[in-house]
Amino acid sequence: MSRKSSSLITFILGAAAGATLGILFSPDKGVNIRGKLSYKLDKYKVLLEEMLEDLVNEADLPISQAKTKSEKVISDAKEKAEKLLEDVDNLIGHIKNEENIED
């Protein structure tokens, strides 16, 4: 997780804790306090779910980019290996032809 994401999560959790404590210590009726708490917690729950989804999407992006790059590297390496094998086969054939000519 990046520092930016970690700091943002810490900030939101701190804000949620501060709001909760502020509501709990307010001079209001229990019913009103529970209603406010429920509203605030639902609001922060939605924010955290959105952030979690964003983090998952951000994590998937580098993985897919790395996968694409690795597939390209593998493909390039395979092509070069095939070319090298072809060159070796040609060289072996050339050497055998020279041996046959000398005999």
Residue spans of the domains in the chain: they are: 3-102
Query: For the segment 57-71, what is each residue's pLDDT rounded down to a tens digit?
Result: 776 667 777 778 888
Q: What is the mean pLDDT of the chain?
A: 77
Helix H or strand E segment including 83? helix 30-102
Q: Quick one: pLDDT at residue 11?
A: 80
Q: How far apart are CA 83 and CA 76, in angstroms?
A: 11
Amino acid at 82: E
Two tokens at 31?
């019913």
Contacts of 48 (CB under 8 A, 6+ apart): 9, 12
Q: Measured between alpha carbons, how far is 52 from 44 in angstroms, rounded to an integer? A: 12
Rounded average pLDDT over 29-58:
77
Supply the pLDDT for residue 25: 76
Whether the pLDDT of residue 5 is over 70: the answer is no
pTM strictly above 0.85: no
Looking at per-residue pLDDT, the higher value among 32 and 3 belongs to 32
pLDDT tops 60 at residue 6: yes
